[in-house]
């Protein structure tokens, strides 16, 4: 008789922000995960307590949603406020916000990749889960050793051992440098102090940008070792474990809501959003089965649906007020769109056959087929790079997207010459490509930051040093903000009535990625990516660590209070399968 299908619970999942849950059944005969549920165990109630508040406070409050990318929320909220208040910030303010957000990407991806994800690939972990792979790494010369200085792949793995490895420690230090860059532009990390509707309170001076520049050069120097090093590490796994590309693989269903406004184009009016959206320095768009189906933020907006099915909430449809029936262009707005959502929390016991999580199920309606798609973000970078490459709209010094990929250049630094890397659209949306994109996107952000600095200093030299435009709050308005949080697409939708917030719904990336089965039974992205994933871990059922599942879940860069369940070791036997 073959090993049985068993249920295993791991709770909480560590090395993510917040707690996230996945409940899984593992078939040890087939070495495959057969079933997976994603669950979240914390509810805080932002969309409930935002109602009735002053709309000018939205960015301050919503920043507190997230402790690692709160500034992404604050920025997205400011974009929505600018639309609601009809204010266009001075160009210099937009460059300052872009510099802050570039620093956030550089910081967060670096810390997450090299201090949290990398531990799944470190010597200690690989030694415990795949000793044969570690033995092979010891004798595998790192192909790009000349660029990063680590002779074998095992040397790279050792450098990521927690607290002791030199790269682990260097990454921590580097994550502080990039956070200082953020603080130069936005005052405080992670909840910024100088961000406002209409611009920023930051005082622009030549020194401010120089202080950013000297730090950016140090970070660029660091990337010149880290990009080739991560390529060596991830390529090794694909080589050492044939079939590893199937780990965490799911259908290509990627969304990016775009990042970095171009102040020449962006007037924050909904009516012109399709145009200024396409001028962003990270393109908005949706890729389905490697086909770019839209780059239109209005179309993206109107397609969003918030479904229930497995979540601890009562439905609002037919029970609560419909706030918005038409968008400012006259298009119909669905009752399940965030503008019309009402959050009705209903705490209850966790039943995996029924309701099991505090996360809802955001989906995107593909009008061509009528499908409600469980889009994912590829952890953020994979969707951003994929959409931007296919859209081919970004072409500035340092970054060129051309349909098949993106060329990224960093200038000469103290110890290394100028470099150009190419990120090519991969064949799969899987765990390793999500991780690889995270490294390349750090370079993408750094290259753009050089461009933004140049633009900011040009404004300053021309004597345009204002960073804020005054505004008034209308008594009634609807607005939306679209942005890319570090780990993926982010939207804020607001309805203002009588000068107060009547409805407010932020949709961060993890709401999409960690969503549960919806009312139609469609699983969320984590569930979908873990389900069917093959297992390469050498351990048997008794000392199973689930490393391939961990790598899958962490490749999405989870960021919400949740926990992953994977019950084994003394777990209930669910089914016994006979070997053929």
Partner 1 sequence: MPGIDVNEAVDILWLTAGLSCDGDSVAMTAATQPRLEDLVDGTLPGVPRMRLHHPVLAYEVGDEFLEAFRRAAAGEMDPFILVVEGSLPDERPAGEGYWAAFGHDPDSGEPISTCTWVDRLAPRAWAVVAVGTCAAWGGIHAMAGNPTGAKGVEEHLGPGWRSAGGMPVINLPGCPVQPDNCTGTLLHLLRQRVGQAGALELDGLGRPASLFGETVHECCDRGGCYEQADFADGYGTHGCIVKLGCWGPVVDCNVPRRGWMGGVGGCPNVGGTCIGCTMPGFPDKFMPFLEEPPGARMSASAVVLYGRTVRALREVTRASMQVVPEWRRR
Residue (121 or 440) nearer to partner 1, CB = 121
Q: Compare residues 434 and 565 and give the one whose CB is closer to partner 1.
A: 565
Report the distance separating Cα 437 and Cα 65, nearest Å: 25
Instruction: Indicate the residue among 66 and 448 with the shorter CB distance to partner 1.
Output: 66
Q: At what angle do helices 547-555 and 431-461 cross, to 10 degrees?
A: 30
Minimum CB–partner distance for residue 132 and partner 1 (Å): 21
Smallest gap, in angstroms, from Cβ of residue 474 to partner 1?
15
CA dist., res. 542 & res. 573, Å (int): 13
User: Which stretches of 498-567 are assigned E, i.e. beta strand?
Assistant: 500-507
* CB closer to partner 1 out of 470 and 521: 470
Q: Are 396 and 451 in contact (CB under 8 A)?
A: yes
Helix (H, G, I), strand (E, B) or coil at 40: coil
For 48: left if phi > 0, alpha if psi spans -120 to 50, otherwise beta; the answer is alpha
Q: Which two tokens stand for residue 352?
A: 């995996």
Q: Cα separation of 429 and 568, whole Å?
A: 28
Residue 116 or 279 with smaller CB distance to partner 1: 116
| Alpha-carbon torsion, ordered 395, 257, 246, 407, to 10 deg | 10
Instruction: Provide the minimum distance between the beta carbon of 90 and partner 1 in the complex, in angstroms, as a whole number.
Output: 9
Of the two residues 125 and 287, which places its CB atom closer to partner 1 in the complex? 125
Can you list the alpha helix ranges (DSSP code H) found in 64-205? 70-85, 91-111, 123-129, 131-138, 145-148, 153-159, 166-186
**Minimum separation from the CB atom of position 257 to partner 1 (A):** 21
Phi, psi dihedrals of residue 143, rounded to the nearest 5°: -60, -30
Least distance (Å) between residue 311 CB and partner 1: 12
Q: With respect to partner 1, which residue has the nearer C-beta, 242 or 347?
A: 347
Q: Which position has the token pair 């950013």?
A: 212
Q: Which residue, 163 or 414, has its beta carbon nearer to partner 1? A: 163
Question: Comparing C-alpha atoms, which of 47, 219, 108, 171 is closest to residue 488?
Answer: 108
3-class DSSP assignment, residue 255 = strand
Q: What single DSSP character describes residue 366? A: E
- Give me the least distance between CB of 494 and partner 1, in Å please: 15
Least CB distance from residue 48 to partner 1, whole Å? Answer: 5
Nearest Cα residue to 333 out of 320, 323, 348:
323
Nearest distance in Å: CB 53, partner 1: 7
Nearer to partner 1, 20 or 437 (CB): 20
Residue 14 or 331: which CB sits closer to partner 1?
Answer: 14
Contacts of 525 (CB under 8 A, 6+ apart): 250, 253, 374, 375, 376, 512, 513, 514, 515, 556
Please state, in angstroms and rounded to a whole number, the distance separating the CA atoms of residues 81 and 520.
Answer: 34
Q: How far is C-alpha 233 from the geometric centre of its chain's CA atoms?
A: 22
Is 400 within 8 Å of 394 (Cβ atoms)?
yes
Considering the complex, state which of residue 44 and residue 412 has its C-beta at the smaller distance from partner 1. 44
DSSP string of 66-87, one letter each residue: -SSSHHHHHHHHHHHHHHHHT-
The residue (of 401 and 566) whose beta carbon lies closer to partner 1 is 566
Closest by alpha carbon to 445, among 122, 222, 123, 133? 222
Least distance (Å) between residue 126 CB and partner 1: 13
Q: Report the C-alpha gap between 172 and 163 in whole angstroms.
A: 9
Q: How far apart are the first and last CA of the chain?
A: 10
| CB 450, min distance to partner 1, A | 20
- The least distance separating partner 1 from the CB of residue 401, rounded to whole angstroms, comes to 31
Contact present, 29 and 535 (Cβ < 8 Å): no
User: How far apart are CB 168 and partner 1 at their closest, in Å?
Assistant: 9
Minimum distance of partner 1 from residue 489's CB (angstroms): 19
Q: Which is nearer to partner 1, 49 or 520 (CB)?
A: 49
Q: Find out whether 515 and 537 touch, Cβ atoms under 8 Å.
A: no
């Amino acid at each position: 008789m073959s090993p049985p299908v068993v249920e295993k619970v791991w709770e909480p999942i560590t090395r993510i922000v917040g707690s996230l849950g996945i409940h899984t059944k593992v078939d040890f005969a087939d070495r495959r995960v057969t079933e997976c549920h994603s669950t979240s165990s914390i509810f805080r109630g932002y969309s409930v307590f935002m109602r009735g508040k002053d709309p000018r406070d939205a960015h301050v409050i919503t920043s507190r949603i997230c402790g690692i990318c709160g500034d992404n929320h604050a920025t997205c909220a400011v974009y929505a406020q600018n639309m609601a208040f009809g204010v266009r910030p001075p160009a210099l303010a937009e460059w300052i916000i872009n510099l802050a957000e570039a620093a956030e990407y550089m910081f967060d991806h670096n810390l997450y990749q090299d201090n949290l994800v990398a531990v799944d690939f470190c010597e200690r972990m690989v030694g415990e889960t795949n000793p044969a792979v570690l033995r092979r790494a010891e004798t595998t010369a790192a192909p790009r050793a000349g660029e990063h200085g680590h002779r074998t792949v095992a040397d790279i793995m050792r450098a990521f051992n927690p607290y002791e490895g030199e790269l682990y420690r260097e990454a921590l230090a580097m994550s502080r440098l990039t956070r200082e860059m953020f603080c130069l532009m936005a005052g405080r990390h992670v909840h910024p102090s100088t961000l406002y509707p209409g611009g920023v309170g930051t005082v622009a001076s030549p020194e401010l940008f120089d202080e950013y520049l000297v730090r950016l050069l140090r970070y660029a120097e660091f990337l010149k070792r880290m990009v080739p090093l991560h390529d060596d590490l991830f390529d090794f796994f694909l080589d050492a474990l044939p079939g590893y590309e199937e780990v965490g693989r799911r259908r290509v269903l990627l969304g990016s809501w775009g990042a970095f406004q171009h102040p020449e184009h962006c007037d924050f009016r909904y009516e012109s959003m399709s145009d200024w959206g396409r001028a962003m320095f990270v393109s908005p768009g949706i890729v389905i089965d490697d086909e770019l189906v839209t780059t239109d933020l209005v179309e993206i907006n109107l397609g969003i649906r918030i479904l229930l099915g497995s979540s601890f909430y009562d439905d609002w449809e037919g029970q609560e007020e419909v706030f918005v029936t038409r968008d400012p262009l006259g298009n119909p707005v669905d009752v399940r769109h965030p503008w019309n959502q009402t959050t009705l929390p209903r705490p209850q016991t966790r039943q995996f056959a029924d309701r099991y999580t505090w996360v809802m199920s955001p989906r995107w309606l593909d009008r061509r087929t009528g499908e409600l798609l469980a889009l994912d973000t590829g952890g953020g970078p994979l969707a951003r790079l994929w959409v931007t490459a296919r859209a081919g709209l970004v072409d500035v010094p340092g970054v060129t997207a051309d349909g098949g990929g993106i060329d990224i250049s960093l200038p000469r630094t103290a110890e290394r010459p100028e470099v150009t890397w190419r990120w090519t659209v991969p064949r799969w949306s899987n765990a390793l490509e999500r991780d690889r994109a995270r490294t390349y996107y750090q370079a993408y952000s750094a290259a753009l930051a050089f461009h933004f600095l140049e633009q900011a200093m040009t404004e300053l030299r021309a004597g345009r040093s204002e960073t804020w435009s005054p505004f008034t709050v209308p008594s009634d308005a609807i607005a939306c903000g679209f942005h890319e949080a570090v780990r993926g697409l982010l939207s804020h939708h607001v309805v203002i009535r009588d000068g107060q917030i009547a409805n407010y719904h932020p949709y961060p990336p993890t709401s999409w990625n960690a969503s549960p089965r919806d009312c139609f039974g469609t699983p969320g992205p984590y569930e979908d990516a873990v389900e069917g994933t093959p297992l390469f871990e050498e351990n048997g059922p008794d000392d199973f660590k689930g490393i391939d599942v961990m790598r899958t879940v962490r490749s999405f860069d989870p960021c919400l209070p949740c926990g992953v369940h994977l019950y084994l070791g003394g777990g209930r036997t669910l089914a016994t399968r006979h070997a053929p």
